[in-house]
Structure 1
Amino acid sequence: MAAAVSRDDELVTKSPNDQRSYRLLRLANGLCALLVHDPEIYADGYPPQASKAHEHEEMQEEEGEDDEESDEDDAGYSDEEGDDDDGEDEDVEWEEDGSEPKKRKEKGGDKPLVKKAAAAMCVGIGSFADPPKAQGLAHFLEHMLFMGSSEFPDENEYDSYLSKHGGASNAFTETEYTCYHFEVKREYLKGALDRFSQFFVSPLVKAETMDREILAVDSEFNQVLQSDSCRLYQLQSHTCSQGHPLNRFTWGNKKSLVDAMGSGINLREEILQMYMKNYHGGAMKLVIIGGEPLDILEGWTMELFSKVKAGPLLDMTPKTDMSFWKSGKLYKLEAVRDLHSLILSWTLPCLHKEYMKKPEDYLAHLLGHEGKGSLLYFLKAKGWAGTLSAGVGSGGSQRSSYAYIFEMSIRLTDSGLKNVFEVIGAVYQYIKLLKQSEPQEWIFKELQDIGYMEFRFAEEQPPDDYAVDLAENMLFYSEKHIVCGEYIYEDWDPELVKHALCFFNPDNMRVDLLSRSFDKQSQAIQCEPWFGSQYIEEDIPSSFIESWRNPVQLDADLHLPKKNEFIPGDFTLRNANSPRSSSEDNPHCIVDEPLIKLWYKMDMTFNVPRANTYFLISVKDGYSSLENSVLTELFANLLKDELNEVLYQAYVAKLETSLSVVGSKLEIKLYGYNDKLPILLSNILSTFRSFSPKTDRFEVIKEDLERAYKNTNLKPMSHSTYLRLQVLCEIFWDVDEKLGILMNLTFTDLVKFIPKILSQLHIEGLCHGNLSEEEAINISKIFCNTLSAQTLPEEARHGERVICIPNGENFVRSVRVKNDLEENSVVEVYYPVEQDIGKGATRLRAITDLFSSIIEEPCFDQLRTKEQLGYTVKSSPRMTYRMLGYCFQVMSSKYSPVYLQSRIDNFINGLSTLLDGLDDETFEHHRSGLIANKLEKDPSLSYQTDDYWSQIVCKRYIFDMPKLEAEELRTIKKDDVITWYNTYIRSLAPKHRRLAIHVYGCNSDIAEAAKLQEQLWTAIDDVQSLKVSSQFYSSLC
């Protein structure tokens, strides 16, 4: 084994609060590795068991014993680029208390909390390298690397190993790099690295798996076919200059890859050539996070990754400027959702080397500001816009070596759509203001202070996410700044800001307009070939371009922001003089008064000057009727709109607020640095108490809510879950009926309604983090002193009840997709188990989670990999208002719901054989892996707060629930899981009952649903009629 060319334990700059150790390692083959020793992974000491685990793995490999067949987990090779919907999740009215077995939770107790190990590898090749005749090749290569290696030829070995040892993996293809990453139980890191390293040493790229993986790529593409953000990105790529790397179809699909083969291209040879040319040590950045000493991690790195072939160091030099788009054009793209969105894009030179100055962040801060004097404030006053965001995105296409793309996205009102060129004119007025005002050092200093504060007190991420971030940082930052590069604003360079501002001109601007309000009969309509999106390319009148180039006047309402009063100055830790006691392990109630009940826990773990304060406010009759539920949402949205300026200032200073309607309640969350938190809360509650809506904002917010209702359920997966919950919940107001009510509501209706809902209240809250008990009590007093409401009686507080599906019943609800162009169909099959109450509830949850762990990979293997039903195949427990259940979900663009149901049933019926044949060793791997997940340490204060809050929201108040579940798991046997399956899931089981939701895509015939009634299914034609004749469980929350 060759020695490392260089190593350095002192080079990387880390936060003074970061207890991890870092070693930078350069191998002879050019590979650069960052090794991270996290002492908390083995907080109980580096044990002999870990070494024995590694030895046991090596013995198994030598003896050829580890040959279990299974396929990759859904996370095994899903492309995160394709999964990201850019904030397009629909506005839905329900909330479900999810119970996911892999969720990180607070564990408490005497046993030390454990963390997982992780690794990530970034390779400097991405979709910009796709050959024009085989577009999507880099993404396809990413998929193929999971299909086995010379050392581990079973195509499922890597993911099977991770699955058995409490781990998971993922990968994504960017424009100029591809990233692979995993996490695993701490003692199995070496075995996971052994399998992982073979991706980069000797992948097999099996010819017999290629057709199947092309279908997987195609299914992945079909998932984003109706995504507005993805359609816009592809239109921008399609209309980019010919020959530019951005002029690509980066996802790839069956057509792009099969057509490549049809034109005589040997796809496997193309993949191997791309791999051999680009997958070498000089192009690779590796991160390993483990609990082992750095010397051991270095030994493993040398042993496993020295085998990677050598190659020249990655060249990240900015490319010569190339023209991206034609100037003077307006692209009108037909939207899927009901929206009007204006996107302005300016190309800046590549700024990779200017990360210590960050001129693009300075400009984003000002152009995207939401305070008084800002562009958004001005546009809202005109009634033209609702939201605005600006900046250079984090994606590879926005930050490439060719250029940085600065985007401004403005959500327009109907009036704004009619005045779109005037909106752009206002943008250029603000740009003129920035050019005239000269760059302001005090603004840079604010960003600098906030950046350093965030670096100093950075909240820890899950290890796999952190590994990915570090590997990506290694591509763009100097070795010294791998950890801190994204936070630092070190050098104030006003000339560079001025230089960047020069690119904000009409000749360098692209204009995209998304809406459903275009003339579809226009002769100018064109079709983007991959997504089939309809668009119009128009010339912008030269008179407007000239007026934007040098605005004649500057509106007096536009000015620079004032200094931010929410930037914290007190970072004192409240626990410094508070010895830990057993009473502080979990939240405890410190205020229990008629108006407010408050839970409290001082942070004794993370030692950061942050606090999270969450509150549920029950209001009088806020959910008692369909009309009241809509009025409550209007009130909440108008209140947020009224508070926007102050909330935005706090947000910039990293003190964030969430205000939303959760079922029958208002939920307010304040989270971030605790110094100014009471001031912000007082401001919010004062506005809450005296709020009086304005007529003009009422009309705008009503328009926004109308669109939100129309856009609900456009995604078939969300639609199926919505429909399931609509059946299960006794009161679940239909969104289409809410839309009908909304259209007829007046400003007077709302004004009359507000005093009524605020006349009686009840608050339940949680204060967690860097707050003393006295400070928490004072927060409760802010509520009591500010809100002069009477107490809402307990019997008047809404509690949700869940329908009791009779044993032996098989309900099915069949509907069409809401979007007529949506090709995907979805089947969601839900099995009720029991109410989550009583002495046996903890054990039942544990068995359900263990069943899920055991069948997750076989389910994926059978339904996705072998049968290729679709890209999305899921199985997991569900917790719906304290009703435990189990759910199977499949989404497919190829098969009808009736066929999908038959294949799900076939898999479920075969589980008896699978469970009976489960050997003791495999069962123990699943059990111990699940225990490790239950006992995994929360990575940050926010994770821990969310776990505590879920216990309060569902009124369970078992704050050490994962620890109790882990204890139960230690006594659960395989026969217990089989008994559970034979009781609740198996056909004709004594408590077998199910609800199937079938959402029919546009290419499936809903008339097929009649076939199900011949198979003992009961069709649900009228949900309300079903509820009238049904029994319901008692309300628990």
Structure 2
Amino acid sequence: NLLIYPAEHVIYGEYMYEVWDEEMIKHLLGFFMPENMRIDVVSKSFAKSQDFHYEPWFGSRYTEEDISPSLMELWRNPPEIDVSLQLPSQNEFIPTDFSIRANDISNDLVTVTSPTCIIDEPLIRFWYKLDNTFKLPRANTYFRINLKGGYDNVKNCILTELFIHLLKDELNEIIYQASVAKLETSVSIFSDKLELKVYGFNDKLPVLLSKILAIAKSFLPSDDRFKVIKEDVVRTLKNTNMKPLSHSSYLRLQVLCQSFYDVDEKLSILHGLSLADLMAFIPELRSQLYIEGLCHGNLSQEEAIHISNIFKSIFSVQPLPIEMRHQECVICLPSGANLVRNVSVKNKCETNSVIELYFQIEQEKGMELTRLKALIDLFDEILEEPFFNQLRTKEQLGYVVECSPRVTYRVFGFCFCIQSSKYNPIYLQERIDNFISGLDELLEGLDDESFENYRSGLMAKLLEKDPSLTYESNRFWNQITDKRYMFDQSQKEAEDLKSIKKNDVISWYKTYLQQWSPKCRRLAVRVWGCNTNIKESEKHSKSALVIKDLTAFKLSSEFYQSLC
């Protein structure tokens, strides 16, 4: 475009029409008549008696036929015309106000670096931050709406999922109109929470939000859409865990989380659900709510408060008390735990096996939070390359070889994972254990310069400026959804890194990863490929506790207090 248009037109040059020629448009539309039309019908079920021609290159069969005069006449003079066959009305979401709010706000608000809570009521809590960095006419508004009883049991869980999917389906038309005007919408579900994100040009954002919330409050699904969406959800559930890597993560979370509904159980319940079940459930689901949101970008505080008032005016319901909102608890693995879970691949033709070796560290705790996170992240920084180099490059165990921290509802962990089509999970775990046992030597042999390079490199990453408004919004939103509200966590972690020495990392490793330490608590999730024999696991389970009855295991376990 730079070679074709002047600089001021380079973005929209090929889309801009500066001349209105009504006669030319009428002339062009004059060709839109039945005589000039061609219809292509593609089907795999044409009548067998038809006389087919064969396309010479690919051998595709086809027929040609004239449109009958009677059908042509019917098209020329139809008895009625579908009312939807008309030009769309003007898009009401096209922005007209592109003024930058930060240019008109007092310096006190402009210098604020973190969101502030501007509303904290039983029904709604709102966080707000004016964008004073990127200064674009855009805003990101994120909301999580707790729905009453949405995750109380497996039936409620699947009914809530159906409701959210049907709501997204109902919103499709209005979401598309807004997206044409660069105003985007995301609707998703997290346990009993509907997460709604509306982002883009800020001018007409409240208009779109009002329409979305009005539909969410009042809509009831039709029978035909219920059948379609139910079929989609059934298909999704059937395809869950087809990939061994995602299957291993699923199995790990199934052990760790107190409330984790099995996909097969959800599928069994779903088959028996009807539209009547959902219609009876929806009023209860919407009867009590709790909303937490973030308004970030080119919005004044008054505009953010106006957005909160949209929620309050549309959802005139009782607030959902905190004890009725779902909060996930994570299992506290016992001291010295060495647990194993063995499962065959779901796809019987899948040759890949996976080992995921998870070490549970600690739950986040007060002032020690950032130091512990800094130690875990620094350990990961040091370990990533040698782990990959040894097990992927040298030993060539499999295509996927990775290690990284895990944070499960604010409980720290560390994970080693290998996917392989050549070796079974037991051998893969033995190689991981061998690597871990040699880490003492690797860490001790790390010279001061190398350690400082790792530490300073991690500090530089933590202190990098957010590259975009959305990146910054997502960072804030993660703190809100985790109920941590530590918006400067990266800066605090970088500060804690300054005092961390090599011996601190070695001590951390010996405390949490060496098997003879009482604080070493591990869970090995083994997914066995179709070309391996899962019965081999019985020969290698003497030193580990194999989880065979997950329900009984959880009933006998302790759990961390829920933080989010």
Partner of 1:887: 415
Tell whether 2:494 aligns with 1:953: no
Q: CA deviation at 1:1025?
A: 1.4
Residue pairs, 1:855-866, within 5 angstroms: 855-866=383-394
Q: CA deviation at 1:541?
A: 4.8
Alignment match of 1:489 (pick from 11, 14, 21): 14
Quote the Cα distance in structure 2 between the aligned partners of 1:1032 and 1:818. 29
Alignment match of 1:589 (pick from 110, 117, 135): 117
Q: CA deviation at 1:631?
A: 0.5
Quote the Cα distance in structure 2 between the aligned partners of 1:828 and 1:512. 46
Residue pairs, 1:553-572, within 5 angstroms: 553=75, 556=82, 557-572=84-99
Quote the Cα distance in structure 1 between the aligned partners of 2:338 and 2:157. 31
Quote the Cα distance in structure 1 between the aligned partners of 2:354 and 2:525. 8
Letter in 1 for 2:376: T
Query: What is the SS of the residue equivalent to 1:876?
Result: strand
Letter in 1 for 2:475: D
Q: CA deviation at 1:901?
A: 0.9
Query: What is the SS of the residue equivalent to 1:977?
Result: helix
Alignment match of 2:170 (pick from 642, 649, 652): 642
Residue pairs, 1:886-925, within 5 angstroms: 886-925=414-453
Residue pairs, 1:719-798, within 5 angstroms: 719-798=247-326
Q: Does the Cα contact within 8 Å between 1:580 and 1:604 map onto a contact in 2?
A: no
Letter in 2 for 1:647: I
Alignment match of 1:815 (pick from 329, 343, 348): 343
Quote the Cα distance in structure 2 between the aligned partners of 1:479 and 1:994. 62
Quote the Cα distance in structure 1 between the aligned partners of 2:540 and 2:335. 19
Q: Which moved more, 1:958-967 or 1:817-826?
A: 817-826
Q: Does the Cα contact within 8 Å between 2:400 and 2:420 map onto a contact in 1?
A: yes
Q: CA deviation at 1:589?
A: 0.4
Tell whether 2:69 aligns with 1:542: no
Quote the Cα distance in structure 1 between the aligned partners of 2:347 and 2:13. 45
Quote the Cα distance in structure 1 between the aligned partners of 2:7 and 2:552. 61
Residue pairs, 1:113-512, within 5 angstroms: 478=3, 488-490=13-15
Partner of 2:179: 651
Tell whether 2:229 aligns with 1:701: yes
Q: CA deviation at 1:578?
A: 2.0
Alignment match of 2:490 (pick from 962, 966, 990): 962
Partner of 1:806: 334
Alignment match of 1:604 (pick from 132, 135, 138): 132
Q: Does the Cα contact within 8 Å between 1:619 and 1:760 map onto a contact in 2?
A: yes
Q: CA deviation at 1:538?
A: 8.3
Q: Does the Cα contact within 8 Å between 2:150 and 2:191 map onto a contact in 1?
A: no
Partner of 2:49: none
Change (3 A) 1:505 1:832: farther
Encode CA deviations 1:832-881: one digit per residue, 9 max, x unaligned.
10001222111000000000000000011011111111121111111110
Alignment match of 1:617 (pick from 125, 128, 145): 145
Q: CA deviation at 1:480?
A: 8.5
Q: CA deviation at 1:485?
A: 6.8
Tell whether 2:558 aligns with 1:1031: yes
Quote the Cα distance in structure 2 between the aligned partners of 1:786 and 1:566. 20
Q: CA deviation at 1:1011?
A: 2.9
Encode CA deviations 1:43-87: one digit per residue, 9 max, x unaligned.
xxxxxxxxxxxxxxxxxxxxxxxxxxxxxxxxxxxxxxxxxxxxx
Alignment match of 1:1018 (pick from 545, 549, 554): 545
Query: What is the SS of the residue equivalent to 1:830?
Result: strand
Q: CA deviation at 1:593?
A: 1.0
Q: CA deviation at 1:821?
A: 2.1
Q: CA deviation at 1:546?
A: 7.0
Quote the Cα distance in structure 2 between the aligned partners of 1:945 and 1:505. 50
Q: CA deviation at 1:486?
A: 7.3
Partner of 2:500: 972
Partner of 1:943: 471
Partner of 1:575: 102
Partner of 2:525: 997
Q: CA deviation at 1:1012?
A: 2.8
Change (3 A) 1:920 1:700: same
Change (3 A) 1:892 1:559: farther
Tell whether 2:376 aligns with 1:851: no
Runs of 5+ unmatched residues, structure 1: 1-355, 357-476, 514-536
Quote the Cα distance in structure 2 between the aligned partners of 1:739 and 1:893. 29
Alignment match of 1:692 (pick from 220, 229, 232): 220
Letter in 2 for 1:570: D
Quote the Cα distance in structure 1 between the aligned partners of 2:123 and 2:284. 17
Tell whether 2:504 aligns with 1:986: no
Q: CA deviation at 1:579?
A: 4.0
Letter in 1 for 2:307: I
Letter in 2 for 1:870: G
Query: What is the SS of the residue equivalent to 1:774?
Result: helix
Q: CA deviation at 1:561?
A: 3.8
Instruction: Kindly report the root-mean-square deviation, in angstroms, between the aligned alpha carbons of the 2 structures.
Output: 2.7
Quote the Cα distance in structure 2 between the aligned partners of 1:593 and 1:826. 47
Partner of 1:148: none
Q: Does the Cα contact within 8 Å between 2:139 and 2:200 map onto a contact in 1?
A: yes
Encode CA deviations 1:966-1021: one digit per residue, 9 max, x unaligned.
0001111000100000000122123101111111222222222223303x121111
Q: Does the Cα contact within 8 Å between 2:148 and 2:192 map onto a contact in 1?
A: no
Quote the Cα distance in structure 2 between the aligned partners of 1:938 and 1:838. 26
Partner of 2:460: 932
Partner of 2:47: none
Q: Which moved more, 1:605-614 or 1:710-719?
A: 710-719
Partner of 1:870: 398
Query: What is the SS of the residue equivalent to 1:832?
Result: strand
Change (3 A) 1:747 1:976: same
Query: What is the SS of the residue equivalent to 1:756?
Result: helix
Q: CA deviation at 1:742?
A: 0.7
Question: Size of the alignment, in residue pairs?
Answer: 527
Change (3 A) 1:1028 1:610: same
Letter in 2 for 1:542: T
Quote the Cα distance in structure 1 between the aligned partners of 2:342 and 2:60. 46
Q: Does the Cα contact within 8 Å between 2:127 and 2:293 map onto a contact in 1?
A: yes
Runs of 5+ unmatched residues, structure 2: 45-57
Quote the Cα distance in structure 2 between the aligned partners of 1:736 and 1:855. 37
| Highest RCO, 1 vs 2 (Cα 8 Å, sep ≥ 6) | 2
Letter in 1 for 2:360: P
Change (3 A) 1:627 1:580: same
Quote the Cα distance in structure 1 between the aligned partners of 2:254 and 2:14. 50
Change (3 A) 1:598 1:916: same
Change (3 A) 1:668 1:546: farther
Query: What is the SS of the residue equivalent to 2:367?
Result: coil
Quote the Cα distance in structure 1 between the aligned partners of 2:245 and 2:390. 20
Residue pairs, 1:61-100, within 5 angstroms: none
- Percentage of identical aligned residues: 55
Q: CA deviation at 1:660?
A: 1.1
Q: CA deviation at 1:490?
A: 5.0
Query: What is the SS of the residue equivalent to 2:331?
Result: coil
TM-score, with structure 2 as normaliser: 0.88
TM-score, with structure 1 as normaliser: 0.49
Q: CA deviation at 1:483?
A: 13
Q: CA deviation at 1:824?
A: 1.6
Quote the Cα distance in structure 2 between the aligned partners of 1:481 and 1:887. 54
Q: CA deviation at 1:505?
A: 7.6
Partner of 1:714: 242
